[in-house]
Amino acid sequence: MSTPEPPLTATIRQIERAAGSLATQSVAKMEDELGWFRELPADQRSWVMLVAQAGVRSFLEWLRGEGTPGEVSDEVFDAAPRELARSITLQHTVALIKVTIDVVEEQVPHLAAPGEEAELRMAVLRFSREIAFAAARVYARAAETRGAWDARLQALLVDALLRGDSSDVLASRAAALGWTDASPVAVAVGRSPGGEASAVLHVLHRYARRMGVEILGGVHGDRLVVVLGGAADPLATAEKLLGGFGDGPVVVGPAVASLDEATESARAALSGFRAAPAWPAAPRPVATAELLPERAIAGDPEARRILRTDIYGALTKAGGELLDTLDAFFAVGGVLESAARQLFVHPNTVRYRLRRIAEVTGLSPMNPREAFALRVALTIGRLDPVGS
């Protein structure tokens, strides 16, 4: 007694004979119906031809699967280089698959053996679903790989910023990430929320797209360093990105003209982040300029220079009476009338001088927080008067 042939055996033989023709017809239909496909370079169109041929072979193998077709292997897409996933979007790939499936469906009456047409149509339908899932898996893996690589490249760029590498190094790495160097540029530093760096940066990029600003970022240990580009108000922009940071302070460095100069902003932001715990009531986010006294006490030479030259130096140039008034005001605990008696002047004179101090330095002795910065500036200026 002879053994009966497996299902669709005759149909499979006919498809094998027509395999080359099916792939050719599919590519021809792509050129007719898909304008973007006609604009692809010749090498990429040839890759698609290879994938179409591999798809027909995969369909045949799938049909031979002991009567119970299973999941399509992603290897059907290995006929083309992985670069194809970068140049052709998933949406375009679905369109290509649809065209190929349409061609196969049109040929079902000619491909199916007598009595097997309905079964072949159902097999084509199931295979189209499986091949679509396979394409989605390929693109998902490509996206994961690209996300991990982008996160690594961003971390290297942030490292280069912190080291003060040459502008050529910064430009080449930024260009690889699609950075357009929108001005102004500022750096924000906070605690990382934890998890994979690519996932952390993905959240930040999603926020940035909504605001229309550019960002680059890097996770360094428990710190998250973010470069903001094109944000007219970096502090306000950082406030909208807080959901991407972990708990604790977020410090924003000064705005600079371009990425080439962002090392200054990055160093100030890192210095501020290290010093921020000394001001528990600091706003979130906080500008590095607001943390000058803490940064100076923590040993930041740039913060000491600013307090010495811009605050203490400005007071000495404005006249000794402002320094004397400030000393007296602090000595009596900030009581205006007591300061006036110590200076042998009218209280209104003290008021006028205190207003002048605020005009000259940008810091008011009447504000407790700003008074603290003035005290530190006086101390540093007298310890190291060079350049005052």
For domain 164-290, which CATH number applies: 3.40.50.2300, 3.40.1670.10, 3.30.70.2730, 3.40.50.720? Answer: 3.30.70.2730
Which residue bears the tokens 């000393």?
327
Give this prediction's pTM.
Answer: 0.63
In CATH terms, the fold of domain 300-383 is Arc Repressor Mutant, subunit A (1.10.10)
Mapping DSSP to helix (H, G, I), strand (E, B) and coil, where does residue 3 land? coil
Backbone angles phi, psi at 191, to 5 degrees: -90, 140
> What are the mean pLDDT values of the chain's consecutive 10-residue runs (388 residues total)?
59 81 84 82 78 74 59 53 59 74 82 83 78 67 56 68 66 67 89 86 86 85 89 94 94 91 90 96 96 96 94 89 93 92 93 94 94 96 72
Q: Look at residue 77 in the predicted model and tell me its pLDDT.
A: 58
d(CA 33, CA 245): 47
Q: Look at residue 338 in the predicted model and tell me its pLDDT.
A: 94
d(CA 296, CA 289): 11
Q: Look at residue 69 in the predicted model and tell me its pLDDT.
A: 44
Q: Look at residue 148 in the predicted model and tell me its pLDDT.
A: 54
Pinpoint the alpha helices (H) of 192-312. Answer: 197-211, 234-240, 262-275, 292-297, 301-306
Q: Look at residue 87 in the predicted model and tell me its pLDDT.
A: 63
Query: Which residues have CB under 8 Å from 160's CB, separation 6+?
Result: 169, 170, 173
Q: Check if the beta carbon of residue 325 is closer than 8 Å to that of residue 354.
A: yes
Q: Look at residue 140 in the predicted model and tell me its pLDDT.
A: 59
Backbone angles phi, psi at 48, to 5 degrees: -60, -40
Which residue bears the tokens 């603290």?
372
Mapping DSSP to helix (H, G, I), strand (E, B) and coil, where does residue 106 land? helix
d(CA 47, CA 60): 20
249 residue type, one letter: P
Residue 182 is given by DSSP the state P
d(CA 296, CA 374): 12
Q: Check if the beta carbon of residue 387 is closer than 8 Å to that of residue 313.
A: yes
d(CA 204, CA 197): 11
Joined tokens for residue 110? 């000619």
Residue 116 is given by DSSP the state -
Mapping DSSP to helix (H, G, I), strand (E, B) and coil, where does residue 51 land? helix
d(CA 166, CA 265): 16
